[in-house]
Amino acid sequence: MGLTMRLKTMAALALAAVTLAGTAPAMAQSSTTPSFFSFFPRPSNFGNGPVKGYSSVRRQVVPYSGKYKPGTVVVNTAERRLYLVQDNGTALKYGIGVGRDGFRWGGIKTITRKAEWPGWTPPPQMLKRRPDLPRYMPGGIDNPLGARALYLGSTLYRIHGSNEPETIGQAVSSGCFRMTNDDVTDLYNRVRVGTQVVVLN
C-alpha cells in the first residue's frame, strides 16, 4: 500500500472515530460525567428569576430571640418566611409562598389536623372565582396541596406542600401558605396537632 493510500485510510479512520465520539457515548455520559448541577445549584438561574420546578429558598437554622415559645410556628407574611421556634435560641427558617394582594391575613391559629398526600376540594369561594377547577382532586404529586397539609383551625387555610416550588417566596395563593414538598414534610414531622401558629401580616 502506498503512502498516499495509507494517509487516506488513516484520515478516514480518524474522521470515523471523531464522529462516533460525538454520538455514541452520549447515553453513557450521563452516568459517568458529573452534572453541571452538581457544581451549581439548579434554582439559582443566575439572577434571572425562579427556575420552574425548583425553589431558590433554602431551609436554615437562624438565631431567634423573639417572644414566642419553643414549638410555635411563626409565619411572617411580609418576609415570606415561616419560623419554627426551637428551645436553644434558634429557629428553623423556611421559605413560603403567601396570599396575593387581597388574600393576606393575620392572627393566631392552631393546627387542628395533619394529612399526608391530602385530597383537595376547592372551597365554594374559590369555585366562584374559578369555575373551571375540579370539584375534587385526589392526593398525589399533581395535587396543589402537595405532600403534606397542616390545617389551621376552622379556617379554609393550610400550610401545605406545592407542585410549583418555583413560586416559593412569592405572593400567589388564595391565603394558604405553600412550601416545597421537602420543607413541608420536614415541618410536618416536627409539629403536632395543637401547635400554635402565629401569622404576622
The residue annotated as part of the active site, out of 176, 187, 197, 198, is 176
Cβ neighbours of 62 (radius 10 Å): 11
Taking only Cα atoms into account, the Rg of the chain, rounded to an integer number of angstroms, comes to 25
Residue whose C-alpha cell reads 470515523 in the numeric block: 16
Active site residue 176: yes
Q: What letter would DSSP give residue 184?
A: H
Active-site choice (160, 173, 175, 188): 160
Q: 136: Cβ–Cβ under 8 A, 6 or more apart, which residues?
A: 119, 120, 121
73 belongs to the catalytic site:
no
111 close to 138: Cβ distance less than 8 angstroms: no
Q: Which residues are catalytic?
A: 160, 176
